[in-house]
Amino acid sequence: QLQLVESGGGLVQPGGSLRLSCLASGFTLDYYDIGWLRQAPGKEHEEVSCISSNGITTVDADSVKGRFTISRDNAKNTVYLQMNSLKPGDTAVYYCAAGRHNGGCPLTKYDYNYWGQGTQVTVAS
């Protein structure tokens, strides 16, 4: 079975930090572009960050630029999203997804072949 499993979500106060992890099983992430996407209640998916298969190129949404950092550790078959200076507007379910795209990052949601089940991030005082 090919799976992506997110972890690290939870409740955090505004200004706090969380690190999300996405572990792949059943396949290797080495040659996949990886994205973190989020969905708030009643809203569409928003791509937060994307990292290319070679790890050289990263793309961040304007709403999180300077606060979130995506990274990958191919030896651990894991990608991460470090989230700092969290705001209430960051509250959402966060998903990791893997896809292969000739142009690299960013991808559209339709380009992603594998999706995790998501992890809830709630930012509130």
Confidence of residue 103 (pLDDT cuts 50, 70, 90): confident
Residue pair 46/107 in contact by the 8 Å Cβ criterion: no
Question: Residues near 12 by Cβ (< 8 Å), separated by ≥ 6?
Answer: 18, 86, 121, 122, 123
Q: Which of 33-37, 51-55, 101-105, 112-116 has the lowest mean pLDDT?
A: 101-105
Confidence of residue 72 (pLDDT cuts 50, 70, 90): very high
CB 38 within 8 A of CB 18: no
pLDDT band with cut points at 50, 70 and 90 for residue 101: confident
- Tell me the residue length of the chain: 125
- Taking only Cα atoms into account, the Rg of the chain, rounded to an integer number of angstroms, comes to 13
Residue 4's pLDDT is 96
Average pLDDT estimate for 87-92: 98
Identify the weakest region by mean pLDDT among 1-5, 84-88, 116-120.
Answer: 1-5
Rounded to an integer, the average pLDDT of 69-92 is 96
CA dihedral 10, 25, 77, 91 (to 10 degrees): -20
Report d(CA 92, CA 46) in Å as an integer. Answer: 10
